[in-house]
Amino acid sequence: MPVRVVDVRGATSLVSRGAAVLDARDAASFAQGHMPGAQLYAWQAFTGEGALRGRVKPDLQAIAQALSSLGVDSGRPTLVYGAAGLGWGEEGHAAWLLALLGHPDIALLDGGFAAWRNAGRPVVSSSARARPGSFVAQPRPEFRADVALAARAKQILDVRSASEYNGATPYGELRGGHLPGARHLDWRSLLDTSGRLIPSSKLLRALADAGFDPDAETVVYCTCGVRSAMAAVSLAARGVARVRNFDGSMAEWAGDPNLPVVR
Query: What DSSP assignment string belongs to 1-33?
Result: --EEEE-HHHHHHHHHTT-EEEE-S-HHHHHH-
Domain coordinates in residue numbering, the chain: 3-140, 142-254
How distant is the alpha carbon of residue 106 from its chain centre?
12
Whole-prediction pTM: 0.97
User: Could you give the strand order of the β-sheet that contains 106-109, starting from the edge strand earlier in sequence?
Assistant: 3-6, 106-109, 78-81, 20-23, 39-40
Please tell me whether residue 78 adopts helix, strand or coil conformation.
strand
* CB neighbour list of residue 159: distance below 8 Å, 6 or more residues apart: 184, 185, 186, 187, 220, 221, 222, 227, 228, 231
* Assigned architecture for domain 3-140: 3-Layer(aba) Sandwich (3.40)
What is the residue-level pLDDT of the chain in tens, covering all 263 positions? 999 999 999 999 999 999 999 999 999 999 999 999 999 999 999 999 999 999 999 999 999 999 999 999 999 999 999 999 899 999 999 999 999 999 999 999 999 999 999 999 999 999 899 999 999 999 999 999 999 999 999 999 999 999 999 999 999 999 999 999 999 999 999 999 999 999 999 999 999 999 999 899 999 999 999 999 999 999 999 999 899 999 999 999 999 999 999 99
How distant is the alpha carbon of residue 41 from its chain centre?
12
Phi/psi for 148 (5° steps) reads -60, -40
CA-CA distance, 135 to 174, in Å (whole number)?
37
Check: CATH 1.10.10.10 for 142-254? Answer: no
CA neighbor of 253 nearest in space, from 51, 32, 106: 51
The yes-or-no answer to whether 3-140 and 142-254 have a common fold is yes
